[in-house]
Amino acid sequence: MTQQRRIISIQPGQPASDGAGVRLNRVIGGPGLERFDPFLMLDEFATDNPDDYIAGFPPHPHRGFETITYMLEGRMRHEDHLGNVGLLGSGGVQWMTAARGIIHSEMPEQESGAMRGFQLWLNLPARDKLGEAGYRDIPAADIPRLVTRTGVEVVVIAGEFDDGEQRQVGAVQRPHTQPQLFDLRLAPGSQVAPRLADGQRVMLYVYEGQLQLAAASAQTVGAGRLIRLSDEGQLQLASAQGAGVLLIAGTPLNEPIVQYGPFVMNSREEIEQALRDFWDGVLA
């Protein structure tokens, strides 16, 4: 019998506030929500109340990792001290490599309506933490997608989707952490079995509906829950009622992680240097 990936934990996020008071759900990276190397943080924002998002994220620094923002609904504007400007609309992605340093803002381009999406923090290997900073704006039309034989729509943001019948390379590739980031939209009664390399850390975040997993003991998981899985085995997902699921996988770096707010390095000394560089105006 084929071995399935084992469920390590199923957990909810925690209400949080960030930026200038944006309300969100911190799925990993908060108190009691440990990191899952190479991933540092996952936030979900989902509201139609402008008071929850209108203040946005005024200018703030980062160093040592990458931020991936994926918008389901709404409009946010990115600006940074390198001169990059991007408008993130529904279905789009912003992939920012903070590396040695970037100061940016993310502000809503709307005064009403729904704002729904995610921000994921992906660690950089030590060799790249002081490399060149960069920014990429990826509109929805430039993100590959497919529909499987069983009726699952797959948005392939990063990595490569492969279910044994179809393969699709995503919009972004990273050699060291090899992130796989898919938005899986399961129609009622559909199923999907993405192939993932053994050794990759795998998380599933159910943001809509209910998801069924084939595991040692089959479980149904509802919206607002994060599922952490073992590093080996196959993955079989199904939904009787329909579901929206973020599949997040990556190769762990197995390096020390020292974090101070928006700075993620490998030692306390490197964090202290990041703070000095920021205070001295030479972060990048």
Amino acid in position 185: R
Nearest to 153 by CA among 54, 245, 68, 225: 245
Please state, in angstroms and rounded to a whole number, the distance separating the CA atoms of residues 253 and 274.
Answer: 21
Strand segments, DSSP code E, in 178-231 are 180-186, 190-192, 201-213, 219-222, 225-229
Please state, in angstroms and rounded to a whole number, the distance separating the CA atoms of residues 160 and 150.
Answer: 19
Instruction: Give me the pLDDT at residue 283, please.
Output: 83
Instruction: Give me the pLDDT at residue 219, please.
Output: 84
**pLDDT values of the chain reduced to their tens digit, one per residue, 284 residues:** 568 899 999 999 899 988 888 899 999 986 655 789 999 999 999 999 999 999 999 999 999 999 999 999 999 999 999 999 999 999 999 999 999 999 999 999 989 999 999 999 999 999 999 999 999 999 999 999 999 999 999 999 999 999 999 999 999 999 999 999 999 999 999 999 999 999 999 999 999 999 998 754 568 999 999 999 999 999 999 999 999 999 999 999 999 999 998 999 999 999 999 999 999 988 87
The torsion angles phi and psi of 254, rounded to 5 degrees, stand at: 55, 40
Three-state SS at 101? coil
Does a cis peptide bond (omega within 30 degrees of 0) precede residue 38? yes
Instruction: Give me the pLDDT at residue 238, please.
Output: 94
| Distances from the Cα of 227 to the Cα of 37, 105, 223, angstroms | 15, 31, 11
Instruction: Give me the pLDDT at residue 141, please.
Output: 96
Instruction: Give residue-wise pLDDT tens across range 245-271.
Output: 999 999 999 999 999 989 999 999 999
Using the CB atoms, write b or e for 32-47: b if 16+ within 10 Å.
ebebbbbbbbbbbbbb
